[in-house]
Amino acid sequence: MTSMSELLQHLINGITLGAMYSIMGVGFTLIFGIMEVLNFAYGQLFMFSAYTFLFLYSFFGGNFPPAAAITLTIYFLAGMLLEKTLVEPIQKKTPNWSIPVLMSTIGLGMVLENIALIAWGAIYRGIPYYFKGVLEFSSLRVSYDRLFILIVSVCTLLFTWFVVHKTKIGLAMRAVSQNRKAAALMGIDTNKVYMFTFGLSTALVALAGSLLIPILSVYPTVGSICGMKAFAVTLLGGIGSMEGAIISGFILGIVESITAGFISPFFVDMAAFLCIIIILVFFPRGIYGMLRRERK
Amino acid sequence: MINKIVILLILLFLIIFPFFGGSYEIHLFILSMIFGITAMYWNLLDGYIGIINFGYAGFFGIGAYCSALLSMRLDVSPFLGLIIGGLVAGAIGVFITIPFLRLGKYAMCMATLAFSEILRVICSGWVEVTRGEKGLWGIPAFFPSSSATYYLVFLILMMGSYILYKIVNSKFGLAFMAIREDETVAYVLGIDINKYKLLASFISCFFAGIAGALYAHYIQLLAPAIFGLSYTLQIMAMSLVGGKATVFGPLLGSFILTLLPEYFRFLAEYRLIVYGLIIIVVVNLFPNGIFGGIYYIKKSIEKFIAGEDKKVHTLET
């Protein structure tokens, strides 16, 4: 019986972690699906936004909503600016921009990581909790923080889904992702769509950065592993598929927390990556391909 | 003609360099050449056949650890270890590519990245053999003097670039490029895509393993971090800054990205920021790397001299 409740406990922890991975994966998959850009500065943006949030959180005296709102706005604008300065010049010069843009985001990641090292030093920072207290069902214990993170992430995922599927700009985004040239001919300003998409994706990662602080303390090099996870979630989900990214985010979170709980925290990354390889070998188009196949 | 003179001059410079270069410069040149070989053969995969290998540091690390462990535990000569390291890396490269052949371009990136991360975890966990995170130290060197090592690395670099040049300008190279441009068309033309992909993976990983073994016996220190993503990114940066789908571009990139940070030593801790900025600026100006940029400028000058109203063709890969 105890092992059963232990399993449930790990499942709950995995689901919270998975919610965060989903948010990051959706952000990553948006720019990948729509712009064919892999943003390898993603993890570093995550780290940077966590520091920004920490600063604002202490500035507002431990008040979550204004700090998070300002962080999101800053990173939405920063994302648009980055698209304008890093992606657009390359898109104008070459039709096959994915790899050059990937390289330029890697450069950006290096810059951000080293700025963080100089500005904040290589120490762990974090805040203990947003809300004190633990919710208890018989032997299960869920802290209010984890519940809060879960609720906010689910709302964010719903909101993103709404933006992409029910608004005008979302329609433009989907049109561009299907056929760039045809969309441009239909009068869609592709550059504007790209800027909005990049901004939205950066805002999503900023949200992940500000939410995750009580669970994961932040240090300058946390970005590289987080960026890798976002990339993994995207590819595991299937190229440019939001539903796939959400599901694979939860899968990865659950696999990781169960490995950490039952085997050893040392093997967490290994289990996650093994799981990715196995799924990709059998379903080359990721979870999205898996779902499509079942429907047929 | 001009190209040949330039290449000869560069070769001559590299040959006589150890006679006047300081020991630190020689060290930097050896490192540039080792990473140059790796970047060149990463480029064989990305630039010519269109496989993006994100786990390339894994193969570099396999060669390094293989050769280092053989020479430390079994007293195998480092020269033999070099070849064994290369062969093991090549074999694992083929073995790991077989299940990934069906994958798309980006899924392949993820799978190779996952592979190298798994290797890193294995390497840091298998303490009895690899000493784990403490790393291997006291790996036997090829030669006691660094200029002798310089010439060994130089020789292997020459061999590597000659072989790469021959491959690229042969029927194989054409097949590779056909696969890169359009797999379906290549298949219709009767090119056995899987065979060529495996062949390219073997050659590429073989040289990555050799470069890794050179690195291990030269630096004489190894840690599991060598399998990490940051090394792959470094190799990619060299390859792409130098020039995608060119034979010597990655070598140029490797020299630039190894030597340039040294000139920014006065910036102390801001050095790596500058390094990142260089990558951003170069890629923004020349999306096809410096070689692509040179090619573009050359074409523009030719057009200017000829006074023709032709469109300048950039190197679009």
The H or E element that residue B136 is part of is strand B136-137
> Which residue in A40, A84, A93, A282 has the most chain B C-beta atoms within 10 A of its own C-beta, making it the best mutation to test that interface?
A93
At B118, the amino acid letter reads I
Interchain CB distance below 8 Å, A106 and B233 = yes
Domain boundaries, chain B: 21-285
Mean pLDDT taken over chain B: 83
Angle between helix A286-295 and A222-237 (nearest 10) = 20
**Phi and psi for A213 in degrees, rounded to 5?**
-55, -45
CA A153 vs CA A52, A208, B161, B220: distances in Å: 19, 8, 51, 48
Q: Give the B-side interface with A, CB within 8 Å.
A: 46, 52, 99-100, 102-104, 106-107, 109-111, 113-115, 117-118, 121-122, 125, 229-230, 233, 236-237, 240-241, 244, 269-270, 272-273, 275-280, 283-284, 287-288, 314, 316-317
User: For B276, which of A110, A273, A277 is closest by C-beta distance?
Assistant: A110
Interchain CB distance below 8 Å, B273 and A273 = no
CA B204 vs CA A117, A179, A264, B227, B259: distances in Å: 35, 35, 35, 16, 25
Question: Six-digit token pair at B7?
Answer: 């290449």
Q: Is B114 helix (H, G, I), strand (E, B) or coil?
A: helix
Work out the angle at residue A104's Cα, subtended by the Cα atoms of residues A199 and B27, and round it to the nearest 5 degrees. 150
Would you state the pLDDT for residue A296? 44
pLDDT band at B317 (very low <50, low <70, confident <90, very high): very low
Would you state the pLDDT for residue B123? 85
Work out the angle at residue A192's Cα, subtended by the Cα atoms of residues A191 and A194, and round it to the nearest 5 degrees. 65
Q: Answer for the pair B30, B218: CB distance below 8 angstroms, yes or no.
A: yes
**Helix residue ranges per DSSP H, chain B:** 2-20, 23-43, 56-73, 78-100, 105-125, 127-130, 146-168, 171-181, 183-188, 193-219, 229-242, 249-263, 271-285, 289-306
pTM of the model: 0.84
In chain A, the number of structural domains is 1
Q: Rounded distance, CA A48 to CA B112, Å? A: 27
Residues 6+ away with beta carbon under 8 Å from A130? A64, A144, A145, A148, A214
Q: Rounded distance, CA B123 to CA A270, Å? A: 11
Q: How far is A246 from chain B (nearest CA, A)?
A: 17
pLDDT tens digits, B171-214: 888 888 888 888 888 888 888 888 888 888 999 999 999 999 98
Would you state the pLDDT for residue A73? 92
For chain A, give the number of residues.
296
At A229, the amino acid letter reads K
Work out the angle at residue A202's Cα, subtended by the Cα atoms of residues A201 and A208, and round it to the nearest 5 degrees. 95
Closest chain A residue to B317 measured between Cα atoms? A96
Interchain CB distance below 8 Å, A117 and B269 = yes
Q: Rounded distance, CA A265 to CA B11, Å? A: 51
For chain B, give the number of residues.
317
Q: Answer for the pair B268, B295: CB distance below 8 angstroms, yes or no.
A: no
Residues 6+ away with beta carbon under 8 Å from A27? A42, A200, A201, A202, A203, A204, A205, A208, A230
Q: Answer for the pair B57, B227: CB distance below 8 angstroms, yes or no.
A: yes
Would you state the pLDDT for residue B131? 80
Residues 6+ away with beta carbon under 8 Å from A277? B111, B114, B115, B118
Closest chain A residue to B51 measured between Cα atoms? A99
Looking at domain B21-285, does it have CATH number 1.10.3470? yes
Question: Six-digit token pair at B266?
Answer: 């006065």
CATH (domain of A143): 1.10.3470
Domain that holds residue A263: 2-295
Rg of chain A's alpha carbons, rounded to an integer?
Answer: 19
Q: For chain A, list residues with pLDDT below 70.
A: 1-2, 128, 138, 293-296
Q: Answer for the pair B250, B43: CB distance below 8 angstroms, yes or no.
A: yes
> In the predicted model, is pLDDT for residue B314 greater than 70?
no
Q: Rounded distance, CA A185 to CA A181, Å? A: 6
Per-residue H/E/C for chain A? CHHHHHHHHHHHHHHHHHHHHHHHHHHHHHHHHHHCCCCCCHHHHHHHHHHHHHHHHHHCCCCHHHHHHHHHHHHHHHHHHHHHHHHHHHHHHCCCCHHHHHHHHHHHHHHHHHHHHHHHCCCCECCCCCCCCEEEECCEEEEHHHHHHHHHHHHHHHHHHHHHHHCHHHHHHHHHHHCHHHHHHCCCCHHHHHHHHHHHHHHHHHHHHHHCCCCCCECCCHHHHHHHHHHHHHHHHCCCCHHHHHHHHHHHHHHHHHHHHHCCHHHHHHHHHHHHHHHHHHCCCHHHHHHHHHHC
Task: Look at the block and give the residue holding tokens 């993503």.
Answer: B229
Taking the CA atoms of B161, B164, B168 and B171 in sequence, report the sign of the dihedral they define. positive
> Which residue in B43, B280, B282 has the most chain A C-beta atoms within 10 A of its own C-beta, making it the best mutation to test that interface?
B280
At A185, the amino acid letter reads L
At B48, the amino acid letter reads Y
Q: Rounded distance, CA A217 to CA A213, Å? A: 5
In terms of Cα–Cα distance, which of A138, A145, A252, A23 is closest to A260?
A252
ipTM of the complex: 0.82
Question: Six-digit token pair at A102?
Answer: 């990937």
Taking the CA atoms of B36, B38, B41 and B45 in sequence, report the sign of the dihedral they define. negative
Would you state the pLDDT for residue A76? 92
Q: Rounded distance, CA A110 to CA A40, Å? A: 10
Closest chain B residue to A121 measured between Cα atoms? B269
Interchain CB distance below 8 Å, A104 and B284 = yes
Contacts with B236 from chain A: Cβ below 8 Å = 103, 106
pLDDT tens digits, B9-63: 888 888 887 778 777 888 888 888 899 999 989 988 888 888 888 888 889 999 8
Question: Six-digit token pair at A281?
Answer: 């070998």
**Phi and psi for B312 in degrees, rounded to 5?**
-80, 125
pLDDT tens digits, B216-234: 888 888 888 888 888 888 8
Interchain CB distance below 8 Å, B111 and A108 = no
Q: How far is B283 from chain A (nearest CA, A)?
A: 6
Question: Six-digit token pair at A16?
Answer: 């919270």
